A and B are shown apart, each in its own frame.
Chain A
């Protein structure tokens, strides 16, 4: 991959969520590479709607013909260099065009359900699941990537929605704060 320009997130005002509420963080600076192949191919050995983690790189089957690699730049580069691809496969670095937010905490599914029509129940969307849907009316990819035994969701969308999507998800978390309702 060519030298990367300095990363600038589109989330310009990442206000922390209230105490006790699910935590929302901006992870847009992660290197993201989109791998596309024909439908039915499995160039990285990961099925559609599933994820795998290899050497610190998260591989997510986000569409029947598209996979997303997320991780540190060197790790993603090493994984791509070490993978032999058969047939026609496109690899596009989308680090600077995609936004990546992480929502973590026990009530994160309930918060997300306020702005997304997917069913985030553990049986329907377990750890390692992926899905795509509208989140606060923004077409987004969702990846469940639990951390330290707590539910955690990555939400990816076009970078231009950065601050809007951050604010919209932040808004859903407030009712789960330990200070809510305030007097």
Chain B
């Protein structure tokens, strides 16, 4: 069982959540190129390490949140505070898979 730290509900069984995939910034549709758009839609980083990802608390608070998970150990970093859009900096030097939102 995976315990996902929802910023509102606390640690919850992942069965109460819906995985929304890697967190990445969406290019501006009015100015992006087809290549950039395709990369945004389909080309995931899939690292063996820390990954910023989106979750939806579907059976709990019904809110989306972003959290960092280690894809090898499934360890979660400290969850973001309610209302914040990015995870708290952890200061251990490990890079999330994607840049700033």
Interface residue ranges, A against B (CB under 8 Å): 39-40, 48, 63-64, 117, 131-134, 139-140
Is A64 a contact of B16 with CB atoms below 8 Å? no
Is A132 a contact of B83 with CB atoms below 8 Å? no
Is A39 a contact of B16 with CB atoms below 8 Å? no
Is B15 a contact of A134 with CB atoms below 8 Å? yes
Extra inter-chain contacts (9) besides given A64-B61, A64-B82, CB under 8 Å: A39-B82, A64-B63, A117-B16, A133-B60, A134-B13, A134-B15, A134-B59, A139-B59, A140-B59
C-alpha spacing A64/B59, complex, angstroms: 14
Residues of B within 8 A of A63 (CB): 8, 61-63
Instruction: Render B60-75 as a binary contact track against A, CB cut-off 8 A, 1 for contact.
Output: 1111000000000000
Residues of B within 8 A of A117 (CB): 12-13, 15-16
Secondary structure dominating the interface of A:
strand
Evaluate whether A132 and B59 lie within 8 angstroms (CB atoms) in the complex, with A64-B8, A117-B15 already known.
yes
C-alpha spacing A9/B51, complex, angstroms: 46
Chain B's interface size range is: 10 to 19
Q: Closest chain A residue to B57 by CB distance?
A: A132
Tell whether B9 is near chain A: CB-to-CB under 8 Å: yes
Q: Closest chain A residue to B63 by CB distance?
A: A64
Residues of A within 8 A of B58 (CB): 139
C-alpha spacing A88/B8, complex, angstroms: 22
Is B15 a contact of A132 with CB atoms below 8 Å? no
Lowest 5 A-B CB distances belong to which pairs? A134-B59, A117-B13, A139-B59, A132-B60, A63-B61
